[in-house]
Amino acid sequence: MRDSEAHFPPARLCDGGQVPYLGERLWLRVKHERSRTRAHVSRRGGELTVKLGPRNGLREALEAWYRRRARAEVAPRLDAAVARAGRSYDTLQIRGQRTRWASCSTSGAMSFNWRLLLAPAEILDYVVEHEVAHLDVQDHSKRFWGLLASRCHDWREHEAWLRRHGHALRL
């Protein structure tokens, strides 16, 4: 855990703090507005501005923003990966699973964890390729790993990164 924190500092949820986003660190600017009923989060460059009302929590506002951004980040990666594989998927869901990074059902329903946006971009890309490989091979057999290796040469490094640092992908 200490190794993870040294290489991957935890999010600091306060004005002037930082949060990770696909390998970047975004500065947080938190503004409190009494008249605001709903939280609003916007990004400009390396800065994330969060406007909160009296009943809004910073963590909840950020999680909602990450969930929206996850769909925008995952969908084009998934579309490109299935096109390269000559496959298709049924639906895409963004969830907050506690024990999985993603899943692929036999019907082609794809589900991805929004916390993947807290990891470097290449980790998200790897997880997308991993799930697309499940469209052809549902298990983790030698055949699956061989197929994944043909599509993602560095899969072992990325898998090891998730095992080593995955616990740190939290707000």
Write the pLDDT tens digit of every residue in 56-111: 999 999 999 999 999 999 999 999 999 999 999 999 999 998 889 999 999 999 99
Fold classified for 2-168: Zincin-like (3.30.2010)
Give the lowest-confidence range in 116-120, 137-141, 163-167.
Answer: 163-167
Residue 124 pLDDT level (bands cut at 50, 70, 90): very high
> Would you tell me how many other CB atoms lie within 10 Å of the CB of residue 148?
22
Provide the whole-model pTM: 0.91
Cβ contact 90:108 at 8 Å:
yes
Nearest to 14 by CA among 56, 58, 61: 58
Angle at 71 between CA 61 and CA 45, to 5 degrees: 65
Q: Where are the domains of the chain?
A: 2-168
- How is the beta sheet containing 47-52 ordered, strand by strand? 18-21, 24-32, 47-52, 40-44
